[in-house]
Amino acid sequence: MKKFTCKEIMNNEGGCDMEFSGDEAMDVASQCGKHVASSTDDAHKPMREMMLNPNHTQEDREKWFMWFQGEWDKKKEI
Ligand SMILES: [Zn+2]
């Protein structure tokens, strides 16, 4: 299992200290996605706008996930 904070998932471009853990990168990313989608503050704005942007394509999504998968691979198991 690995654990990421909201900040780490947002590449330190905002976020908070909430932690998400799981066995799969996709699972942790979707937990954080739900958290960000339900946020209303400025700290989560960059990620929220990216997610809700109608011009945000599947390709952008995949590019983001490739980045996150790299972070995931670097992270130690807990
Ligand atoms: Zn957060």
Compute the CA torsion angle 56, 68, 25, 8 (nearest 10 deg): -110
Q: Where are the domains of the chain?
A: 2-74
Q: What is the pTM of this model?
A: 0.91
Confidence check: pLDDT of 4 > 90: yes
Decide if pLDDT at 68 tops 90.
yes
What distance in angstroms lies between residue 77's CA and the mean position of ligand 1's atoms?
21
Q: How many residues in the chain? A: 78
C-beta of residue 29 within 8 angstroms of C-beta of residue 62: no
Cα–Cα dist 18/16, whole Å:
6
Give first-to-last CA distance, the chain, whole Å. Answer: 6
User: Per-residue pLDDT averaged across 10-22, rounded?
Assistant: 97
Phi, psi (deg, nearest 5) at residue 36: -65, -40
How far apart are the CA of 15 and the centre of ligand 1, in A?
4
| Closest residue by Cα to residue 6 from 14, 16, 28 | 16
The pLDDT tens digits of the residues spanning 19-63 come to 999 999 999 999 999 999 999 999 999 999 988 898 989 999 899
